[in-house]
Amino acid sequence: MNELAPAPKRIQLPPEVARIYEAVNDLEKKYPGRKFTPDGHMVGSIGEVVAAEALGLTLLNASHPAHDAQDETGYVQIKMTAGSSVAMYATCERLVVLRIVSPHEAEIVYDGPGQPAWDAAGRMAKNGQRVISLAKLRGIAARVAAPGRRWELQARDGHFEAIPASFKWDDSAAFAHLLNAYEIMGTEAVGELANSKLSAAEAGNGWAGTATDLWMCLFFEHRRWRHAGIEPGNAALRTLDGLCQTLRQRLLTLSLVERQILLALLVAYPFPGTVEALRDG
C-alpha cells in the first residue's frame, strides 16, 4: 500500500474475535474493578489476522524477525492494543497499528513507514522495547499525508517516509532531479559511479552503496535514458525499479551524519528548475 493513500478508519472484527471481547465486557461487568483485557501473544496474533484480512496482507511465519506480514510492496509489522500506546522491538518497513474501539470494531491508527515511528518512540527499556503513544502515531500519520503537498518536496525537506512504498522508476524522474549529481561529482565521475553500480546490479549483486551514491546513480540513469531518447525495456526497468526500492530503504535508515550531509546537498545542488516545477505543479 502506498503510505500516502488514506487507510480505512474502522474495520469490523471477525465474529470469533468479537466474541472474545464481548466475553471481556461481560466479565468486567460481573466483576467490577477487575480487568480481563487480552494481552501478550493473544492480542498480537489477533492483530495480525485482523490486519491481514482487512489490508490484503500475507502473514509470515511467527518467528520472522521484525515483520509479521507482507504484500507486493514489502514487509509489514503489525501492532494492536486496547490502550493508548504500543511497544516496538525494532524499526520496520511498514507499520500498521490497530486499536480496539469496541467488541466489534478496530480503528486503524497508523498505516505507514516504520522508521519515523521508531525514531519518535521512547527510550529502550530493559526488555528491549521502545514505547510510542497512539497520539504520536496520529501526528506522524498526519505529517506523512501532508495533504496538497507533493511527496517529492516533503522528501527534499528530509521527510523520506513520504516516499511511496511502491516507489519505482516511473515515479522517480522529478525526485531524481532534486539532486544535481553533475554539480556535486562532475559528469565523468558520476558516470563511472553509475556504470559500476549498474554492472553489479545487472550481475545479480544488487545496488550497493550509500543513499547519496544511489541518488546520484538514479539521477544519472534518468539523464542517460533521456539522452538515449527511448524508454527502458522490461529487463532494464526491473533493474531500475530495484534501484528505486533500494534507495528508498537507504533513505529510511540514514545515520544522523549521513542525513545532515544529504540535506545540505539537496539545498545546495538541485537540478535547475526542478523544485520550482514541483511547487508550481
Over residues 9-28, the pLDDT tens digits come to: 688 888 888 898 889 889 99
Whether the pLDDT of residue 146 is over 70: the answer is: no
pLDDT in tens, 32-68: 988 887 777 788 889 999 999 988 899 999 878 889 9
Structure pTM?
0.53
Burial of 71 (0-12, 13-18, 19+ CB in 10 A): middle
Residues 280/152, Cβ–Cβ less than 8 Å: no
The CA-atom distances, in angstroms, between 138 and each of 3, 88, 260 are 13, 16, 26
**Pairing mode, strands 85-88 and 130-133:** antiparallel
Band of residue 2 on the pLDDT scale cut at 50, 70, 90: very low
Residues 178/270, Cβ–Cβ less than 8 Å: yes
pLDDT in tens, 65-100: 889 999 887 899 999 998 889 999 999 989 999 998
User: What pLDDT, on the 0 to 100 scale, is given for residue 87?
Assistant: 94
Whether the pLDDT of residue 149 is over 70: the answer is: no
What average pLDDT does the structure give for the chain?
88
Q: Domains in the chain, ordered, with CATH? A: 10-145 (3.40.210), 151-280 (no CATH)
Band of residue 4 on the pLDDT scale cut at 50, 70, 90: very low
Whether the pLDDT of residue 240 is over 70: the answer is: yes
Residue 27 neighbours by CB under 8 Å, 6+ apart: 34, 36
Where does residue 273 fall: left (phi above 0), alpha (psi -120 to 50 degrees), or beta otherwise?
left
CA distance 258 to 256: 6
Band of residue 8 on the pLDDT scale cut at 50, 70, 90: very low
CA distance 215 to 213: 6
